[in-house]
Amino acid sequence: MVNSNLAAQTTQLIDLWRSGIVENVYFNTETKFADDRPMPEVVFFIKAENEEEAKKLLDEMIFVKKNIAKYELHPVGVLWLTKHETESK
């Protein structure tokens, strides 16, 4: 499934990068599954107004829609700072 969807997923990610929604893409090939098979990780930053907007965008990614990949969100930047500023008050 990965190989048959890789070109489309790559195009989708590049389109998001060109439109300024995705930036700083990192690819880690050293991560492994428990049985030592390679498990590549892709990490990138998304410009989104909030977590809901980021999830909506990620849920439309081809690999996510086809259950090839899953994601974790980690708020950073202004969103993260704003969230923690509100919690500390």
Per-residue pLDDT of the chain (89 residues; tens, 9 = 90+): 888 998 999 999 999 999 999 988 888 878 777 788 777 788 899 999 888 999 999 999 999 999 988 999 988 876 566 665 556 55
Task: Give all domains of the chain, ordered by start, each with its CATH number.
Answer: 2-88 (3.30.70)
Distance CA 58, CA 12 (A): 11
Helix (H, G, I), strand (E, B) or coil at 6: helix
Is the pTM higher than 0.85? The answer reads: no
Under a CB-based contact definition with an 8 Å cutoff, are residues 59 and 51 in contact? no
